[in-house]
Amino acid sequence: MALLTILRYPDPRLHRRAKAVQAVDERVRQLAADMAETMYDAPGIGLAATQVDVHEQVIVVDVSESRDQLMVFVNPRIVASSHELRPHEEGCLSVPGFYDDVTRPAQIEVEALDLDGKVFRLQAEGLLAVCVQHEMDHLQGKVFVQHLSRLKQARIRSRMLKLEKERRQEDTATASERSA
């Protein structure tokens, strides 16, 4: 088990398109286990492989209160979605501290492989439907802020860059204190 580093928006690697997994083997099971550990540690309710700089179609989700209902989707695809749309507030581990409403289909049906490489289908609504769609967007290189207005995207981008810069200066100060 290992904690993985989560890429932060606006890192260009978040916009890479993930490739389909060719075989659900031990390597993929280890990736999913490490992603789950990283998501629970954050803590978050969903994480896509793209966010840990692995550009393969794997997502992990747990929307339960008890934090013990892990779902892993390999090569997920949406096979049906409702005409009904619903707004829901979203956040993202790659955009910490920023939240905004995104409107998406209220219900979806998703087909994916499980960790045994077996095909399964799942109907989802509510938070689970939001989370699966949000994570599947990551696999296409899309971050939820790209659903917002250009103005909001520009604001989030510059605030994230400013925070990153402050963090770097803080790290540099701490390092020079230690060596002094």
User: Which residues sit at the interface with ligand QAP, rule CB under 6 A?
Assistant: 42, 44-46, 90-93, 96-97, 130-131, 134
Identify the residue among 7, 49, 58, 92 touching Co ion (CB under 5 A): 92
| Least separation in angstroms between CB 91 and ligand QAP | 4
Instruction: Find residue 56's DSSP bridge partners.
Output: 19
Q: What 8-state DSSP symbol labels residue 44?
A: -
Give the nearer residue to Co ion in terms of CB position, either 75 or 94: 94
Is the Cα torsion angle 140, 145, 148, 149 positive or negative in sign? Answer: negative
Enumerate residues 6+ apart whose C-beta is below 8 A from 69.
Answer: 62, 63
The residue behind tokens 């929307």 is 63
Q: Among Co ion, ligand QAP, none, what binds residue 97 when CB lies within 5 to 8 Å by partner kind?
A: ligand QAP
| Least separation in angstroms between CB 127 and ligand QAP | 6
Instruction: Find residue 46's DSSP bridge partners.
Output: 61
Q: What 8-state DSSP symbol labels residue 56?
A: B
Active site residue ranges: 135
CA distance 132 to 78: 9
| Least separation in angstroms between CB 116 and ligand QAP | 25
Give the nearer residue to Co ion in terms of CB position, either 75 or 98: 98
Give the nearer residue to ligand QAP in terms of CB position, either 31 or 98: 98
Residues making contact with Co ion (CB under 5 A): 92
